[in-house]
Structures are given as C-alpha cells and as structure tokens.
Amino acid sequence: MTTAPAGLGELAADLDAGDPLAPVRDRFLLPEGVVYLDGNSLGPLPAAVPPVLTEVVREQWGTGLIRSWNTHAWWDAPVRVGDAVGRLIGAAPGQTVAGDSTSVQLFGALSSAAALRPGRRLLVTDPGHFPTDQYLADSVARLHGLDVRRVRPGDLERFLADEGDGVAVVSYSPVDYRTGELHDMESLTRLTHRAGALALWDLCHAAGALPLHLDELGVDFAVGCGYKFLSGGPGAPAFLYVARRHHAVWETPLHGWNGHADPFALQQRYTPAPGIARARIGTPPMLSLLALEAALSAFDGVDMAQVRAKSLSLTGFFLRCAEDLLADLGFEPVTPADPARRASQVALRHPHAYGLIQSLASRGIVADMRAPDLLRFGVNALYTSHQDLLTAARRLRETAATGAYDPSPHGAAGTVT
Amino acid sequence: MTTAPAGLGELAADLDAGDPLAPVRDRFLLPEGVVYLDGNSLGPLPAAVPPVLTEVVREQWGTGLIRSWNTHAWWDAPVRVGDAVGRLIGAAPGQTVAGDSTSVQLFGALSSAAALRPGRRLLVTDPGHFPTDQYLADSVARLHGLDVRRVRPGDLERFLADEGDGVAVVSYSPVDYRTGELHDMESLTRLTHRAGALALWDLCHAAGALPLHLDELGVDFAVGCGYKFLSGGPGAPAFLYVARRHHAVWETPLHGWNGHADPFALQQRYTPAPGIARARIGTPPMLSLLALEAALSAFDGVDMAQVRAKSLSLTGFFLRCAEDLLADLGFEPVTPADPARRASQVALRHPHAYGLIQSLASRGIVADMRAPDLLRFGVNALYTSHQDLLTAARRLRETAATGAYDPSPHGAAGTVT
C-alpha cells in the first residue's frame, strides 16, 4: 500500500464535495445501507418513476381505458421516448424509436443494414461482443446467405484492408461489457465507411454513461437497452436508431401494424410508415415504456460532458483504491488506466471472483461478476459517489483478507447484464 | 320494436341475478359512470394489478435491485406467465412463453413453422385476418422464398383439395376481429393437418374469451396478446405456444441470449434452450410482464365453460336489444346469430358508425368502430353485465334517434385493436 486508507478518505470527501452532479443523486431512490455498483446491469429506481407509474396505471389505464391511446398520447410514445433517448446519444429527433428488446432490435437492424449493401457477403462482429449480438449476426447471416467474421476492434483496420470490399455491416459495441474497455467509435466508424460498409453500434453499455455523437460520426444504425445506464427498469424497452439518410430506402422484415404508413386504415398490404416510425412493429408494453420515459427525466439539465468527467473521476478513483487497497491481495485491474480507453465500469481479475461478489453482496455492496474471474463495478455519474467506491474497496479488502467467502472457482451468477 | 324496453330491463335483471360470475366483476376497477365494451381492444384494470406493481417497483426493483432476477424469480417469469396463459388456452405446462409483441411472436412462429415443412412453398392466411398477421406472412414468405395465399376459412377445404400438398402453414384466427364471427378451430386444424400442413392460430381475440383446447386439437403454433380479454394492460406482452412434439426440432431465427441453453455462460455460439424457453429471446419488460401475471389472477377459480356460457348470454342479449331497440334506426347486426359461430363481441353495421361511437363515448359508453361502418361492442364475461348492454343499447338508440352525432361518413378512430 502506497497510501493510507485515511488519505483515500480525504480524497473521496474532496472529490464528492466538488462534484457538480452530487444533487442529481436525489433523483434516485437508493436503498439504505447499500452501495450499488451494478447499474451497468440494472439501473436503480429513479424517484420520478413510482408516481408516474401510479398515474399511468390508475388514471390512464384504469380510468382513461382505451381512450388513453389518444388522450394520454400513448400512441406517440415509441417515437417520443425514442427522441428522449436520442438527446443522450447525439441523435436529432425522428431517428430513434423505443420498444422491443435489444435482441429484437438487433435482428431488425442487422437485417436492414445487410439489405442496404446487396452483393456484400460479410457481417463483422466482435468475438468479445455480448452473446446476443453474436447469435443474431449468425442468425441473420444464415437467413440472408451471408457469412460472419469475428474480428476484434483492434484488428478491424487490417481485416478491412484485406476483405473490406466484401463487408456489408460492422456490428460493434463501444464498450467491452466484461473489461469496461472503451473502443474508439469515431475511428472504427470511419474505417467501416471507408470500406463501403455500414456501421451498427450496440450502445447497451454506453447510452447514458458517456457522450455519444451518432449524427456527427455518421453512424448508420444503433441499438441499445433502456435498463442499464438509462435506469428504465428491469427489461425496459430497447431503442433503435436509423440515420435519416437511410430512411427513404431502409426496410425491416418485422412488418408490424404499428409501423404501417396508415395503421388505422387496417389495410391488407404493408406500406411502411415514413421515417423511423416503421420500426414501431407491434403494440409496445406501455407500462414499461412509460416507466422508461419517466426514468429519462433523471437526465434533465444534465450535461453528458459532466457525466463523462465524473465517471472518469469515479473509475480513476476506484482504480487508485484498487492499487492502494487490493493489489497486495491478488486483484488485478483489467480496465485500461488510460481514461480515453475506459468506459463507466472497472473490472478486477481475481480467481475467487464468484465468492467475493457473493460475500460483498451480503455486506451491502452490490456488484457482479463475469465468469471465470472478473469482478465488475459499474459506476453511474448520476448517483455514484467516490465515498461509495471507497466503501466498496474497503469491504472488498476486508472480505479478501479474512477469507470469508465461498472459494468455488467460479459460478453462474444468475444476474442479467 | 317487438318488446318494450321495460321487458328488456326485467330480462337483464333476471339474467344478471342468475349469473354465477357476477362476483368476479369486483376483481376489476371499472370507472364510475362508464360502461366499458372495448375490452376486446384493451381490457380494464384488474384490482390485483396496482398493489403488485407497487411492490414490484418499490420493493423488487427499488430495494432488491439486480438481485430480484433471482430472489423474486424475475428470470422465471416468461415461462411462468406463459404457463398461466397456457391454463386458459388448453396448453399443458412448458409449451407457452410470454413476452414480446404479437407481431414479433408471429414473425418467429411463421418462420419456425415454415422451416418445419421444407419443400412446401405456400403460407395460407385469411384476407380478413388482422393486418399484422397478413404483413408478417408476406414478410416471412419473402425472406424464405415462399408465396402467400389469402384464403377465407370457409374456402379452406376447397383450396386445400387443389393445392394442399404445397401448403406449409395455415395461419388463422378463430375470431374475425371486425365481425366477431367464430371460425371452427377444430375442423380447420383437422383440414390443415390432413393436407400435411401446420396450424398456427392467432388467439388475440380468443384467449380469455372462450375455452380453447390447443393440446387436444393438436394445434402446432399459436400466438396471442395479453391486453384484450386477458386484461394485462396496454401493450401487455404477447405469448407464443409451440406444441411439445415440435420442441426437439423447432428453431426460431430470433436467437436472443435469454433463449440460450446456458445463458449465463455467455458463450459465443447459440445453442437453443430445450423446450419453449428458446422463445424467450431478449430480456422481457418485467413491469409489463408482472402486471400481466397479476391480471391473470382475475381468472382464478373461473371455469372457461362458464365464461363461454355467460359470454353467449351477453352477446345474445345484446343482439336481442339491437333487434328491439335499434333495427328501426338502420342498425344491422353482422355478428352471427348462431351461438356456435359467435365469439365475444357484437358488431353492428351503420353508415354513421364513426360519429355514433364518438357520441356514445361522450355519454359514458365506450366501444369502438372499424371503418367504414362497423360499431364493435366487446363483452367480457368476467365483468360485463346484461344491464351494461341494455344501457349501451338504450343510449345508442337515443343518440341515433336524436341525430346528436358527427355525421362524417367515416373516421380514423385512433384506437388500438
């Protein structure tokens, strides 16, 4: 240890005292006695959600009944909530729709993107990509007679130099969901476009965690979930972004009646709605969708540059805690020390990750693990404090030092990413 | 008029007094002063939902956080809620999953079913089928190089005699969503199987409204929504049924990680979960899904044969009201008088359907219309009374007789089927 715990305590207090986002923490109902570092799996409950949901259930559904599709503008919610997400990801209005799961949105986006590059037979995905992204690349490829290539982002340039003219779509995430490594969206999008391919980004671990600039970077398609850094609730609807320049020609195979140009004419043949509305597909789960909308109000007036600055301060501080308090106990940081390559979580490697995370949870520190040996600590600048992280690091030190945990080599932590 | 309104009033009172399901009405929070006859579009709020949803939001999400995927069995919900739906549709456990929208479920079911009949190039749908069913048949056919044939259920036998050996799937609804006509699932399923094709039923307008016997009839696939007769809330998750005999070979193109055989191993390659669990796809919208689960408790102890008997009593009574109170004002019933051919709604034809429905709504009678000239009155045996229907018929008579309505020939009633 190079610094005494007392020094870290003063540092945490100073950093928290100077935090311009500190008041935003009150927009979340965090349980007493819990340090919550798993908002990268499921965001906590925003204070705005319970009253909105009570009103939606009692008044809008209970009293308004079917009329609320008009009187409470339920019908407009997918695009309205999509636009609210759009403000956080650098998307001008009319390009983002909220609804369905990330998996379903990925299926539509991959199919749509591949169809825009006929004659190109390759879908590129990341072998480190979240499983659903890889499964759907394989499935869409099989349906369309394409092939999948698994290429790490760091190898993309070399790969495209050889095979770029065969690539239809490059489907990546800016964040490695295990290590928290941040890939450079700008350069990867540029490389993709230079090869004549389309860029599809999965923003599950990025939306709400860092500034994104989809329009500015010329991203073609993007998807993401509503339940991690957007704190929209368990299984909150996902979102799909399609750049406006594709709207005239873009097609999705998921032809639901909500996405018809004239849905209430109830015609026999499908005519896609103009713009992003064709991605509405079927009737959305309104309770979950309106909970997400309420949750997004936690971002009102929050500058994403401030979110990024605080997130880096938090992860940097936790890496410092790990160095000072945990290095001698066998914890090895795998999240890059370079801020430019660090998203909004810190992953530590330890052979007893499973037991340590279980033991921490019993002591009020909620984080998660990825088999076989990664402990993941997600931070969210809207509610995480430096003091939270110091508390977590200290308890982890105590737990590891005393050996008070299940030493199973691994385990299926039944949590949802 | 052949019967004085007073006679209808006595009849309504008698029928309601002898209704064994009358106490079930208290399981719904129906607003004061409203007669709700649009539960075939959006079921009303079950009394069980608000307390469950408050607990789910405050305790399970707010306090339990990510841990609730295990501690509150969120992970099991899609199959658990699917089985609860299964009890209402004649499906033994393990064959029904809840989640996604009907449109997405239809895409998966049509794709899956077509793949089980390689070499057969025809998908049969009903030209009177709800639009989404027709759009997705067209879309799936295009993806798989198949052709769609639009064949009315009444013409199926003749069609299959000519072209049956080319048919992969017959995709029908037992209920015409406009007229309320009930098709014979048993004979249509038998005809389909005799031709060597698979039967896919859309139960949106049937589940919760009448007894269904999927296992007994040997139905292959079925889908349906959670928000009509199941009263699961706006856009409540849909369901998918896949008969157990197909589980060993059945495949869906929607390869989400929730449907993987070992989801938390987070493997690169997709291995479908055994049984119906492979249809879980992505992470489901838990608030909407658990609201649906709570809503289904309104069926606890309710015998679907009683539901059917009361539903027929209600629609029969309303047809009688229409004959006595409305026939002389130009209303023509289009729902079959034969109980065996009548589902759980009554449709009346009138050239001013749009204005009449609008005017009725302003007088506390909520029903809906389908362009150009159908007024739809849905009944749900769990909460509709004969008195409700008499009130509706009387107000409709007053409205039509006084001409106090917008006489526009039609209009896009922005309601959701």
pLDDT tens per residue across span B276-289 = 999 999 999 999 99
Of A169, A166, A176, A111, residue with least CA distance to A144:
A111
Give A412's contacts in chain B (Cβ within 8 Å).
Answer: 264-265
Architecture of domain B50-299: 3-Layer(aba) Sandwich (3.40)
| Residue of B50, B132, B282 with shortest CB distance to A57 | B50
Supply A342's token pair: 């660090």
Q: Whole-angstrom distance between the N-terminal and C-terminal Cα of chain B?
A: 33
**Nearest CA of chain A to the CA of B6: how many Å?**
31
* Shortest CA gap B288–chain A (Å): 6
pLDDT over 70 (residue B185): yes
Please list every residue in chain B whose beta carbon sits closer than 8 Å to the beta carbon of residue A107. Answer: 253-254
pLDDT digits (tens, 9 = 90+) for A235-262: 999 999 999 999 999 999 999 999 999 9
**A71 falls in which pLDDT band (50, 70, 90)?**
very high
Q: What is the pLDDT of residue A6?
A: 62
Please answer yes or no on whether A104 and B103 come within 8 Å at the CB atom: no
Note whether B285 contacts A283, CB cutoff 8 Å: no
CB within 8 Å: B104 and A281: yes
> Once rounded to an integer, what is the mean pLDDT over residues A14-31?
98
Q: Kindly report the average pLDDT of chain B as a whole number.
A: 95
**Among the listed residues A22, A56, A34, the one whose alpha carbon sits nearest the alpha carbon of residue A306:** A22
CB contact set of B21 (below 8 Å; sequence gap of 6+): B302, B306, B307, B310, B381, B382
Mean pLDDT of B388-407: 95
Asked if B234's CB is within 8 angstroms of A103's CB, the reply is: no
Q: Do the chains contact at A283 and B38, CB–CB below 8 Å?
A: no
Q: Stretch B318-338: mean pLDDT, rounded?
A: 97
- pLDDT, residue A129, reads 95
pLDDT at A140: 97
List CB contacts (< 8 A) between A31 and chain B. 62-63, 65
Active site (annotated) includes residue B376: yes
Whether the per-residue pLDDT at B85 is higher than 60: the answer is yes
In contact, B201 and B185? CB cutoff 8 Å: yes
Q: Quick check: A376 and A181 in contact, CB under 8 A?
A: no
Chain A residue nearest residue B177, CA to CA: A266
Mean pLDDT of chain A: 95
B407 vs A335 pLDDT, higher one:
A335
Check whether A60 has a pLDDT greater than 60. yes
C-alpha span between B387 and B318 (Å, rounded): 10
* Helices B185-194 & B156-163 angle (0-180, nearest 10): 10
**pLDDT recorded at residue B404:** 87
CA neighbor of B124 nearest in space, from B194, B176, B200:
B200
Closest-approach residue (CA) in chain A for B31: A63
The pLDDT of residue B273 is 94
User: Which residues of chain B does A44 touch, with a Cβ-Cβ cutoff of 8 Å?
Assistant: 62, 65
As a whole number, mean pLDDT of residues A292-315 equals 98
Contacts of A161 (CB under 8 A, 6+ apart): none
The beta-carbon neighbor of B264 closest among A135, A267, A412 is: A412
The 3-state secondary structure of B167-186 reads EEEEEECCECCCCCEECCHH
According to the model, what pLDDT value does residue A176 have?
97
Q: What is the dihedral of CA A217, A220, A224, A226, to 10 degrees?
A: 80
Q: pLDDT confidence of A404, banded at 50, 70, 90?
A: confident
The tokens of B335 are what?
Answer: 């729902």
**Confidence band (pLDDT; 50, 70, 90) for A5?**
low
Mutant choice from B110, B173, B229, B257 vs A, greatest count of A C-beta within 10 A: B257
Closest-CA distance of chain B to residue A392, Å: 17
Using pLDDT thresholds of 50, 70 and 90, give the confidence band for residue B409. Answer: low
- Of the candidates A67, A285, A412, the beta carbon closest to that of B235 is on A285
pTM of the model: 0.97
pLDDT digits (tens, 9 = 90+) for A127-160: 999 999 999 999 999 999 999 999 999 999 999 9
Question: ∠B248-B251-B256 over CA atoms, to 5°?
Answer: 120
> Mutate which of A28, A255, A280, A289 to disrupt the B interface (most B C-beta within 10 Å)?
A255
Please pick, among A107, A130, A172, A377, the residue that the annotation labels catalytic.
A130
How far apart (Å, rounded) are the C-alpha atoms in residues A310 and A303?
11
pLDDT at residue B412, rounded to an integer = 47
Minimal C-alpha gap between B58 and chain A (Å):
7
pLDDT of B417 higher than 70: no
Instruction: Find out whether A271 and A137 touch, Cβ atoms under 8 Å.
Output: no
Determine whether A130 is an active site residue.
Answer: yes
Task: Put the strands of the sheet holding A332-333 in their side by side order.
Answer: A332-333, A345-349, A374-378, A368-370
Whether the pLDDT of residue B396 is over 60: the answer is yes
pLDDT band at B405 (very low <50, low <70, confident <90, very high): very high
Is A395 within 8 Å of A401 (Cβ atoms)?
no
Rounded Cα–Cα distance for residues B254 and B240 (Å): 13
Residue B5 — pLDDT band, cuts 50, 70, 90?
Answer: low
Where in the sequence of chain B do the CATH 3.40.640.10 domains occur? Answer: 50-299
How much is the average pLDDT of B10-18?
98
Which pair of structure tokens corresponds to residue B7?
């006679």
Asked whether the predicted pLDDT for residue B413 surpasses 50, the reply is: no
Q: From the CA atom positions of chain B, what is the Rg in Å?
A: 22
- The number of CA neighbours under 13 Å toward the Cβ of A30 is 22
Whole-angstrom Cα Rg for chain A: 22
Whether A405 is catalytic is no
Is the pLDDT at A95 greater than 70? The verdict is yes
Strand locations in A54-176, DSSP E? 96-98, 122-125, 147-150, 167-172
| Residue B263, burial from CB neighbour count under 10 angstroms (0-12, 13-18, 19+) | buried
Of A45, A132, A262, the CB nearest to B282: A132
Please give the pLDDT value at position A409: 66
The answer to whether residue A364 scores a pLDDT higher than 80 is yes
Residue A416 pLDDT more than 50?
no
What percent of chain A lies above the pLDDT cut of 70? 96
- Whether A266 and B371 lie within 8 Å, measured CB to CB: yes
The CA distance from B154 to the nearest CA of chain A, in Å, is 19
CATH superfamily of B5-30+303-402: Aspartate Aminotransferase, domain 1 (3.90.1150.10)
| Subunit contact B414:A270, Cβ cutoff 8 A | no
Of all helices (H) and strands (E), which one includes residue A145? Answer: none
> Which of A56, A135, A270 is most worth mutating to test chain B (most B CB atoms within 10 A of its CB)?
A135
d(CA B240, CA B397): 41
Of the candidates B38, B133, B202, B388, the residue annotated as catalytic is B202
Reported as type and span, the H/E element at residue A376 is: strand A374-378
Q: Average pLDDT for residues A74-94, to the nearest whole number?
A: 98
Residue A194 CB coordination number (10 Å): 11
CATH 3.90.1150.10 residue ranges of chain B are: 5-30+303-402
Q: How far is B178 from chain A (nearest CA, A)?
A: 11
CA closest to A259 among chain B residues: B132
CB contact under 8 A, B269 and A135: yes
Catalytic residue among A376, A377, A383, A405: A376
Write down the pLDDT at residue B22: 98
Give the pair of three-digit tokens for residue B72: 């509150």
pLDDT given at position B408: 75
Residues on chain A touching B143 (C-beta within 8 angstroms): 143, 253
Average pLDDT over residues B253-263: 93
Beta-carbon separation of B104 and A102 below 8 A: no
- Candidate list B27, B278, B376, B397, residue with the active-site label: B376
pLDDT at A1: 42
Mean pLDDT of B233-248: 98
Instruction: Name which of B233, B253, B264 is nearest A286 (Cβ-Cβ).
Output: B233
Between A and B, how many residue pairs show a Cβ–Cβ distance under 8 A?
302
Distance to chain B for A87, nearest Cα, Å: 23
